[in-house]
Structure 1
Amino acid sequence: MFQLGWFGNLTAPEWAPSPTSPYVTDDATTWMDGRFYIDQARNLERAGFDFLMLEDSLMVPDMYRGTSEMALKHARYAPKLDPVVAASMLAYATEHIGIICTASTTFYNPYQLARQFATLDHLTRGRIGWNMVTSSEDRAAQNFGMERLPEHDLRYEMADEFKRCVEALWMSWDEDAIVADPDTGYYADFTKVHRADFEGRFYSSRGPLNVPRSPQGTPVYCQAGGSPKGRDFAAKHTDLILNIPIGVEGMKEFRNDIRRRAEGFGRNPDDIKVFWVVLPIIGETEAEAKAIEQAWADAKDYNFEINMAHFEATQEIDMSQFDPDKPLPDDVTTNGHQSTLANTKKAWGDKTIREAASESSRITSIPLVGTADQVAERMGEVAEEVGGDGFLIYNQPMSRHYIASITDGLAPALRRRGLIRTGFKHQHLRDNLRDFA
């Protein structure tokens, strides 16, 4: 068996017909009231998904040709709602599914983050997770009064200390600190509430936190770093890791590497779940699914613009400075998502920028195209060959049509094969994630 997660973003759903969403709805202008995402979370929970992961970014990209045209034309990376604020609404509308919120260690204050996530863990009765990111955009830094981000590896050093600081705050209340004893008149036992007194190179906090110990103690830790520094951070700190593999062999290499690193940090590698980011394309027939895939491949102008928007947001590289009829220069570097740039260079090879960027922008980590039964069968084979642990389904922008193809098509096909859960055994997200070895 394996587990399912969903990559979500609180931005505009599909607003025009596309191969995977042939219908136009009013969701594109009403999504900001949250009802679209409530419906999404409920459908995912019904389908047996372990969690909904809400990504985030903190800027409006404007690197490509010096304007925000590409980002706003396609509603990629902006506009966007705050996932930490939205999480309590989504949790109140559901009972079991975990809600994982993205929050940046570069821009948050440790006390603020500790207080917000402890609050969310209480409000969700132990279903909250934290997707730990270091951020990758100087434009975001400039929104917080900084000229530019710290260097890539330094951001991970800061994140390591940030996590230790917030944990000191979360642990400042003993589990039995609240006594609510009418005989003694004490609500909380002051001897069981402690100062954190955390002093580090980058952060300090006196404590104690003014929120009691939450149901899980700490939120579930999630991370998606692919660089050597990011892999070390994930292996040392996280409960689950998100990765976009290149084929089954890439999946094996990544999972084995993470498990080896985890053992090096004295951790049980079985406590870390690796979720593969995939994009299943489901059709009522195999021919229909392949036609959908081909339609994305044929949308060359769209694909080119989406890839330009992706580069300006995640790499902060203005691709318009390069000759589009030549390959991407070898000496291009970034202080942003380094593993994404490395994977792009590898995938593009000797193709010109125009050729490579005009190809389908859909995630093709492993081909999952066909009927619900065909895709379910293939996911089972891959999980068996790789050794687990789960799949994170990604499609952007989102639509009710695509969600239904997964929750009402693929998920039942997986369940018929005994590949995914039929119910939730535990209240807490971390316990449900560790259901399957």
Structure 2
Amino acid sequence: MKPTSSTFLLPALSIALSYATLVVGAAHAQTADPAAEVRRVLASPIYQSATAALDKEHGRIVEDGIKPTEIPAPPFGEKARAEEFAKMLKASGLSDVQIDPEGNVLGLRKGTRSDGKVVVVSAHLDTVFPAGTDVKVKRQGTKLYAPGIGDDTMSLSVLLGFVRAMKTAGISTCDDILFVGTVGEEGPGDLRGVRYLFTKGSYKDKIKSFFSVESGDVNRVTHGGVGSKRYRITFSGPGGHSFGAFGTVNPMFAQAQAAVEFARIQVPAKPKTTYSIGLIGGGTSVNSIPVSSWMEIDMRSESVDELKRVEDRMLKIVQEAADGENFARSTKNAKITVEAKLIGDRPAGNTDMKADIVQIAKAAIEAGGYTPDLNWSSTDSNMPMNLGIPALTIGRGGIGRNGRTHSLDEWEDVEKGPMVKAMATSLSIVLSATGME
């Protein structure tokens, strides 16, 4: 039988459709060439339309950063800001928005080829500043000054800008994207928001990769999570008059001995491992033997094993200090006891430098004309990294466009050109990692 033209057409069409499907789905599967995927996204007219939307909406993005900045969000006090951010996500076009039991704000943008899992793009709601801090934004030219304006409130408005730009450009992604405003990223929050997201929340087994958008320069890529353990060590005893009860065990002496021995712990330069005593206190008066004394200890490392080694040594040291004081002085009225209370626990981890997510970020940053700065830090990404889930913390600002982080005169430069260029670069990372169609 002689073949007709239609006999060849059907297989050819099938092959073409299969190839198109492979190309479209490349980014949300294991990407054979991450740099090529970035180039594909950057060359796309719909991506260019999205960057044009960011440019057009620059003023709104700035105002969307000012609004939540002026809503106080101290550690464990993020509720009002969370409620406002949820409203803003809905107003930006996301219909599936909720606040979870821990206080995180979640907004889902459905993909076209969902496998039941999501890519998280997040920024944190909380700041380091206590309740009562003046958070009114002050303008000086293109600079905005306010506690928390850079870390990390302006990132919330950048996420809103991403949502609107994608909608305006008609961008679809293969993967579902879960936009999240997390609580508890700073200090005493101890990553409680992202910890809940990964261990108890409704998406806990459904997150395939994770991006935390932070205040840093757009070329900064945090691929390593510095782990930390923080303890409040309390030594307690019977107390007494400094002269009349002289010879009685003294909690301060035990604490001082523990501090000296703690300071002698040897740690490696690589993986970087550190320790410090940051706060001390206790006692009743200068002429009294204390009933109790305490100190707060911070230990950090790029290595899970090294952090555990320092922690174990510290716990042994404080017990030995209590035992030594009980041996050296009278325990007639009571012995020295020691309590080691864990007050902070940030898990260590890292995303392999060869992972697609890292290679995509590097390629996008280089394509934006920046030099990638890969680093280790302590951010929301620590949690997924520790669980073996690909995660990065990426910057979204122009180079050198923010400063005085964690101070009352914290500032953010929102000059249009550098800000839009940086946001567009960050958006290209997200779209390349989620399979922009």
Q: Does TM, scored on the shorter chain, surpass 0.5?
A: no
TM-score, scaled relative to structure 2: 0.27
Which of the two has higher C-alpha Rg? 2
Higher helix proportion: 1
